[in-house]
Chain A
């Protein structure tokens, strides 16, 4: 046992740890430049359990190295101070990893929020019919903490497709029987009143529509290779009406009764909007993967794609009893942030971005006090209690559109208690190690400038 403790506190163990950590750091650098993805590199290195074990190894090594000097003497003071500083810094890292906050506020101009999307997290948000409060169920290790929900399948990356007028090989118009598409788009597949109906798939819908709409009254639904359906109509007065993709979506009962796409010219037609997912090979750049899950809710299954900003449609389930959405976990912070303006600052006389800025009002939710701040790429705002706000990006960058800003929020609860004081104590210890010598009676004195002992480093005390 003594030998094990001696090894764990030895310089050999320290060198082994340093060498292994250096290998991790080198691997992290190469992986990040190879994949252009911090998340990909981090999953193999800094977020890997082995890396956490290394940090634990450092903590044990430093602690035992210091305790091995027991019983302590005055001359051990700089050595102990140095090791105390290192232990405080390591403790700060551990505290930050467990109790720290790292997430993103996504805010539109004119709007505000205090709910931070937590990085690398997933949850299902549920809005029960007739209630205004959404329920949040975090997902951990592919398990969801809701009594009536179960994840029965998940894929790391999937592509979402929306279907409306053309579903499979059928033209579906609400209130009318389904019509089967034939192989020749030039042949009408049915009639609504005096209107002949054409439906089919084409690479260039507009070109095909020009051939079909030579005489009216005609309706044409043409699906392009991306799956989107384009609508064209020529009425009895030879007026031509078009609708591109999903230019009009109707929401019934706030979505609880589902979503419809609608055309209003020359008369009202609707088709229910449905979505399905095609699993894809996961991307190396993990930040761009869009996971999808299949949920069993009571006796019904629903497939949900990941909505990274939690702003997309919530989908009805259980015949409109609930609306559900798959999104990152949210954490409320004690500060409410209102976005006044986000803008791209360009180089003079060009559209090349020089910087991005945003004007925000940060209100303390506890005492109501507010401050106005401008964040930019290198200008961070930090509150007295350690919440830091960074501008991460704005979208769209064009000046005439209402913009959405992504503001990274970070809180390190150990920064002022452990990390920064640890760094100061470490510096003091290093100073003491190199510049203060202790005599046998424990009296300190300065070593003076320059090394003695023929230029050799001072011996470990």
Chain B
């Protein structure tokens, strides 16, 4: 009986703590989705904002002092994950080689790099792009766009919420599946 209550309780808790939410692209369409925890504060750009400027995020999330931003880059010119990660590395002050790591990652059709660095502040970042074989199957340039997910905060905060941020980032995907080849 206790076991059944525990199972039902954990299921309810999971439903209450995280939910799959749509994330809108620069054209205002719900192109992406991710599991976002209930306690996180979410700010989407207003309709008046000019989202052609790719320096502006398509979605921003706040968790205590941590700011998580999602950008997509739907232009013709592709930005490689290596270039994004190199930029993040340069942005972190007091970063030495022992305090960061870069790992290849792939999920949801995306492939790219994961960057984790601890300097004066801390960054968890993912730079993702779709391979050409996936891109050619997608008509919408927003869906074909490269994506970055970056969390910035103090070292203590990032370490405290590291698992939750990784779970959020790795749940990010295109809402519509890539057509079968």
User: B-contacting residues of A (Cβ < 8 Å)?
Assistant: 107-113, 115, 311, 338, 340-341, 359, 398-403
Further contacts, 20 of them, CB under 8 A, given A110-B108, A112-B180: A109-B110, A110-B130, A110-B173, A110-B178, A111-B134, A111-B177, A111-B180, A111-B181, A311-B181, A340-B108, A341-B106, A341-B107, A398-B104, A399-B106, A400-B103, A400-B104, A400-B111, A400-B112, A400-B113, A402-B134
- Size of B's binding interface in residues, CB under 8 A: 23
Q: Give a binary string over B96-122; 1 marks a CB under 8 Å from any A CB, 0 the rest.
A: 000000011111111111000000000
For residue B141, CB closer than 8 A to chain A, the reply is: no
Inter-chain residue pair count (beta carbon < 8 A) = 66
Bound-state Cα–Cα, A414 to B111, Å: 42
Return the contact of A402 from the options B106, B113, B173, B179 (Cβ within 8 A). Answer: B106
With the chains together, A402 CA to B111 CA distance in Å?
Answer: 6
Look across to chain B and name the residue whose beta carbon is closest to the beta carbon of A399.
B104
In the complex, per-residue mask of B149-181: 1 if CB is within 8 Å of any chain A CB, else 0: 000000000000000000000100110011111
B109–A108 CB distance below 8 A: yes
Does B39 have its Cβ within 8 Å of any Cβ on chain A? no
Report 16 cross-chain contacts, Cβ distance below 8 Å, ordered by A residue.
A108-B134, A109-B106, A109-B108, A110-B177, A111-B109, A111-B178, A338-B177, A340-B107, A341-B108, A399-B105, A400-B104, A400-B105, A400-B106, A401-B111, A401-B131, A402-B133
User: Which one of B109, B110, B112 has the greatest number of beta carbons of chain A within 10 Å?
Assistant: B109
Chain A contacts of B110 at CB under 8 A?
Answer: 109-110, 402
> How far is A311 from B133 in the complex, measured between Cα atoms in Å?
11
Give the shortest distance, in Å, between B178 (CB) and chain A (any CB). Answer: 4
User: Which residues of chain B are within 8 angstroms of A399 by Cβ–Cβ distance?
Assistant: 103-106
Nearest chain-B residue to A361 (Cβ)?
Answer: B177
Name A359's closest neighbour in chain B (CB-CB). Answer: B107
List, in ascending order, chain A residues with CB within 8 A of B111's CB: 400-402
Interchain CB contact under 8 A, B104 and A108: no
Closest 5 CB pairs of A and B: A110-B109, A400-B104, A341-B107, A110-B178, A112-B177
User: Quick one: which of B105, B113, B178 has the most chain A CB within 10 A?
Assistant: B178
